[in-house]
Amino acid sequence: MSLGNIVLIGFMGVGKGRTARAIAKATGRYALDCDDLIESYANKRIRKIFKDDGEQSFRMLEQKTAEWLQDHAREAVISTGGGFIGVPNIRKLGTLVYLHSDFEAIIASIKAHPNARKKIKKRPLLQDMTAAQALYEKRLPMYRTLADLEVTVTDRQIDSIAEEVVNRIGHLKAVTP
């Protein structure tokens, strides 16, 4: 049984959340953000989860969220965290769309944002740029292996990216409530 979900994967800061909201607006679907779901469930910010409980605890919350999504999310657009590709049931959640940009472009985009300092601070794994780049390089082949579809997002507007995803998936139709 197909859940009909569109699941956006990619490195942190690539624009998965904004793209999910744009796709949802264009198709009448709900946009679900995995990091928001985790923060809601844990009743604390992700950076606090990392600080207080460690990365392993955060990864367990990602798995719990993936299980919940598999049981409850239908016809939604799901934006995942950068490491969400590690959950074993990710392929069962829907069509996986990898939003690709090179590491330098992602960092430049984050730094160009009016709230750049806040955006970097909220991402614990971006505190050390050398380690972050190594993580990007480690995850890149995983994103590409898992993806049903890859969309390059560098230097593009969110609406253009969303339109490409909708057009390339093809079977997406507006969902009526």
pLDDT band at 130 (very low <50, low <70, confident <90, very high): confident
Q: Is 48 left (phi over 0), alpha (psi -120 to 50) or beta?
A: alpha
pTM (2 d.p.): 0.90
> In the chain, what percentage of residues exceed pLDDT 70?
87
The arrangement of strands across the sheet holding 95-100 comes to 31-33, 77-79, 6-9, 95-100, 149-152
Q: What is the mean pLDDT of residues 65-70?
A: 97
Task: Band the pLDDT of 5: cuts 50, 70, 90.
Answer: very high
Average pLDDT over residues 7-32: 94
Average pLDDT, the chain: 89
Angle between helices 55-72 and 34-42 (to 10 degrees): 110
Tell me yes or no: is domain 6-169 CATH 3.40.50.300.
yes
- pLDDT of 95 over the 60 cut: yes
Cβ density class 68-79: b for 16+ within 10 Å, e for less: ebbeebebbbbb
What is the model's pLDDT at position 116?
Answer: 59
Distance CA(116)–CA(130), nearest Å, equals 18
pLDDT band at 176 (very low <50, low <70, confident <90, very high): very low
Q: How confident is the model at residue 118 (pLDDT cuts 50, 70, 90)?
A: low
Q: Range with the lowest mean pLDDT among 65-69, 77-81, 107-111, 125-129?
A: 125-129
What pLDDT, on a 0 to 100 scale, did the predictor assign at position 91? 95
Give me the mean pLDDT over the 96-125 stretch: 78
Phi-psi region of 173 (alpha: psi -120 to 50; beta: other; left: phi over 0): beta
Summarize the confidence of residues 123-140 as an average pLDDT: 83
Q: Percentage of residues in the chain with pLDDT exceeding 90?
A: 71
